[in-house]
Amino acid sequence: MALGETVDGRVTTFDETRTFATVAEGAGLDSIWVFDHLLFRFPPEPDEGPHEAWTTLAALAPVVPRVELGALVLCSSFRPAGLTAKMAVTLDDLSGGRLILGIGSGWHEPEYEAFGLPFDHRVGRFAEDLEVIARLLRGETVNLEGPWRAYRQAVLLPPPSRQIPILVASKGERMLGLTASWADAWNTAWFGRVDDRLRTRLADLDAACVAAGRDPATIRRTVGIRLHPPGEGADDKEGTDAGPAALADFFDELAAVGFDDVIVWSLAKTPATLEQIGEARALHQARAS
């Protein structure tokens, strides 16, 4: 379940986010995700800005004690790689080993400009950051003279207590190659049906794994779907407005083509919607067992 950041056009308070997360956990969902952005700027629309992702996850950890926690996805440009790895180990400990470290290269140039962050060479910078993060989380001491930063005997102390899974959101050839080389899980989004676009994404991931010498079956596949209120998303190719039975059918279709997890971004922030998603999950699980 992806937690959206707006209700009726305004940013949610943490009390609202906490309530939504608690209901999601109670509905039987498996994970809770937040988005990582500093600013949304799409003129002529007014600027919007969500709350900071990592702080929100840390605050949610004791509130929802069962579900996995993650960001879909952290922008590697916003935080130095070593700091991101250190934060990941800390939050994983705080949550009792429930973190999924979702990371990506970022895409929204206006927020980079607004906050003084470099937008050039995003994939090159991400490649260096991903390697450093992955090696640190594996318990390595990192010495690296990269094009963007130099690392001298960088190490995480205290060390990670487990292998924290890294999820990368990617679709281009170079990003998929990095995913195949370093990630435990992969995300593609947003979809409202199993179509040729989605099948192509899956085939591209398989090809990237083969090129990297990796068994494609060893990477966990996750897909993001956008769930509209009933009757409001029928014409959206990247979303659906299905009820519980039809949503369960969609989960079945996604599993049949190889997806392990579905991350639902519900545009309606109501307990009833969460209960419907939980019902669809239960139907899907019953069929799969």
**Angle (CA) 8 112 136, round 5°:** 105
Radius of gyration of the chain (CA): 19
Strands 74-75 and 142-145, by their bridges, are unpaired
Q: Which of 37, 111, 228, 284 is catalytic?
A: 37
Strand partners, 188: 223
Q: What is the dihedral of CA 64, 83, 85, 22, to 10 degrees?
A: 10
Residue 37 bears catalytic tag:
yes
Q: Is 275 a catalytic residue?
A: no
Q: What separation, in Å, do the N-terminal and C-terminal C-alpha atoms of the chain show?
A: 22
CB contact burial 36-48 (16+ within 10 A = b; e otherwise): bbbebbeeeeeee
CA distance 89 to 101: 10
Return left, alpha or beta for 132; rule: phi > 0 is left, psi -120 to 50 is alpha, else beta: alpha
Interatomic CA distance for residues 146 and 149, integer angstroms: 5
**Residue of 25, 68, 108, 109 marked catalytic:** 109
| Distance separating alpha carbons of residues 155 and 209, to the nearest angstrom | 28
| Measured distance CA(289)–CA(287) in Å, rounded | 6
User: Which residues are designated catalytic?
Assistant: 37, 109
